[in-house]
């Protein structure tokens, strides 16, 4: 079955003693340190000064639905989407959040309390497996009477009552590009699109996304996870108002200091792309290193090349998904001459081991920490490795791959 459930047993062969003593490589977390070297070189452009008299008021823009949002941030967000071409912002309200994590909860609140929802039973929240593990945790945390976790969208019967489907595209953990699994079939589903990874660093930008609720985050866009800035593009004003109310009741808004810094970073990123396209950096061809997306997509592609090369001879142990090649409209517009095709360079590697092998246990035996498939609602023969960690850790992992073995008991 698609979850790969099986009863065959495969043992995890102990690695050689040298490996057992080797340092632990942590590829469990999706902490975006991969972009730090770029920002070390180019971060000076993003410096802003915040004086003692700044950011005193709760309020930023009383005329906007999201009254605590700094107008500079709103403008920078619309600008970067226009430049990248990854989302239609026209006609959308922008709601800011402390990362997109809280906006997911704000969206659940808004959708489960709208007048068309049935209030008698908690609304089911579903997502096609493998799904981002935090959705389930967030849905279940407060044991809400408004909504509850409904599991895998692929096997969910969406005909009975209104429900919420989360669509993550590109998907965490497996990088696949997705559309709704059930919501569009039954007409009962409300959609939240989590587009955290729909940036040219990870995937070709094939069209501007245009959905009712789209979640984005600075965490995966520029790598500034610690600034905790996310945003939602919301079509329905009532939904945007409810999401803002959720933020008001839970946190009374989002740090203005962080908002101003995020606005500056996004502006610099957008400006650099425009300057590059105009030839202002003074070099020709596809050398787009000075732009954040130019360098980051190159870096991610290089990592994927190294990973694919390293697992090429390990087909008996694990395989990686095959991603289609697509033309990236963004790269075509800004990085001339345009490459005709762009490969996916997902933020995570999704390793599939043979049946009966516990993939994360196998990796752990080799001192590599990963996140096992069961966390994402599928079999333990899958595990997720972060591709966005520090260079040194990634390189050590690539070296270690050749020593990883999984042995069937009958082979022993
Ligand atoms: N959605 C997805 C799919 C993610 O992978 C993450 C971060 N791991 C988030 C949302 C949340 O990011 P943040 O709260 O840092 O904005």
Class of domain 10-37+289-411 as given by CATH? alpha beta
pLDDT tops 50 at residue 411: no
Q: How far is the CA of 172 from the centre of ligand 1 (A)?
A: 9
Counting ligand 1 atoms within 8 A of each CB, the residue from 33, 100, 214 with the most, and so the one to mutate, is 100
Residue 22's SS3 state is coil
Question: The complex's ipTM?
Answer: 0.99
3-state class (DSSP) for residue 208: coil
What pLDDT, in 10s, does the model give residues 365-384? 999 999 999 999 999 999 99
Which residues are within 8 A (CB) of 236 and not within 5 positions of it... i.e. 6 or more apart?
Answer: 212
50-273: CATH number: 3.40.640.10
What residues contact residue 279 under an 8 Å CB cut-off, 6+ apart?
none
Domain boundaries, the chain: 10-37+289-411, 50-273
- Give 398 Cα–ligand 1 centroid separation in angstroms: 25
pLDDT tens for 150-187 read: 999 999 999 989 999 999 999 999 999 999 999 888 88
Burial class (CB in 10 A: 0-12, 13-18, 19+), 331: buried
30 lines ligand 1 (CB under 6 A): yes
Residues 38-75 have pLDDT tens digits of: 999 999 999 999 999 999 999 999 889 999 999 999 99
Structure tokens at 272: 């650099």
Q: Is the Cβ atom of 328 under 6 angstroms away from ligand 1?
A: no
Residue corresponding to tokens 């101003």:
260
CA distance 194 to 102: 12
* Apex 49 CA angle, 47 and 53, nearest 5: 160
Q: What is the mean pLDDT of the chain?
A: 89
Please say if the pLDDT value at position 242 is more than 60: yes
Q: 169: Cβ below 6 Å to ligand 1?
A: no
């Amino acid at each position: 079955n698609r979850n790969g459930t099986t009863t065959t047993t495969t043992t995890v062969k102990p690695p050689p003693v040298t490996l057992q003593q080797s340092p632990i490589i942590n590829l469990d977390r999706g902490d975006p340190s991969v972009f730090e070297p770029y920002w070390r070189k180019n971060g000076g452009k993003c410096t802003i000064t915040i004086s003692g008299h700044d950011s005193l008021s709760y309020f930023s823009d009383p005329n906007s639905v999201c009254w605590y949002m700094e107008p500079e941030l709103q403008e920078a967000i619309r600008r970067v989407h226009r430049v990248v071409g990854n989302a239609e912002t026209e006609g959308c309200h922008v709601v800011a959040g402390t990362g997109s994590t809280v906006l997911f909860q704000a969206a659940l609140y808004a959708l489960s309390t709208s007048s068309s929802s049935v209030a008698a039973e908690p609304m089911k929240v579903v997502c096609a497996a493998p799904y981002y593990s935090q959705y389930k945790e967030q849905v279940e945390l407060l044991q809400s009477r408004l909504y509850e976790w409904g599991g895998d969208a692929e096997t969910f019967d969406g005909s009975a009552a209104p429900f919420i489907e989360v669509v993550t595209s590109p998907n965490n953990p497996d990088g696949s590009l997705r559309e709704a699994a059930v919501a569009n079939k039954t007409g009962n589903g409300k959609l939240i699109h989590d587009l955290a990874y729909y940036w040219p660093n990870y995937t070709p930008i094939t069209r501007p996304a245009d959905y009712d609720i789209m979640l984005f985050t600075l965490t995966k866009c520029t790598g500034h996870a610690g600034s905790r800035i996310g945003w939602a593009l919301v079509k329905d004003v009532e939904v945007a108002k409810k999401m803002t109310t959720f933020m008001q009741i839970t946190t009374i808004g989002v740090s203005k200091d962080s908002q101003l810094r995020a606005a500056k970073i996004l502006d610099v990123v957008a400006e650099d792309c425009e300057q590059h396209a105009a030839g202002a950096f003074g070099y020709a061809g596809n050398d787009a290193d000075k732009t954040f997306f130019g360098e980051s997509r190159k870096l991610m592609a290089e990592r994927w090349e190294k990973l694919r090369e390293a697992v090429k001879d390990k087909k008996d142990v694990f395989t990686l998904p095959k991603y289609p090649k697509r033309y990236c409209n963004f790269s075509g517009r800004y990085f001339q001459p345009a490459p005709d095709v762009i490969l996916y360079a997902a933020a995570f590697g999704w390793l599939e081991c043979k049946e009966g092998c516990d993939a994360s246990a196998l990796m752990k035996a080799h001192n590599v920490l990963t996140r096992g498939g069961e966390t994402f609602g599928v079999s333990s023969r899958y595990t997720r490795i972060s591709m966005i960690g520090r260079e040194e850790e990634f390189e050590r992992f690539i070296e270690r791959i050749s020593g990883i073995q999984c042995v069937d008991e009958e082979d022993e």
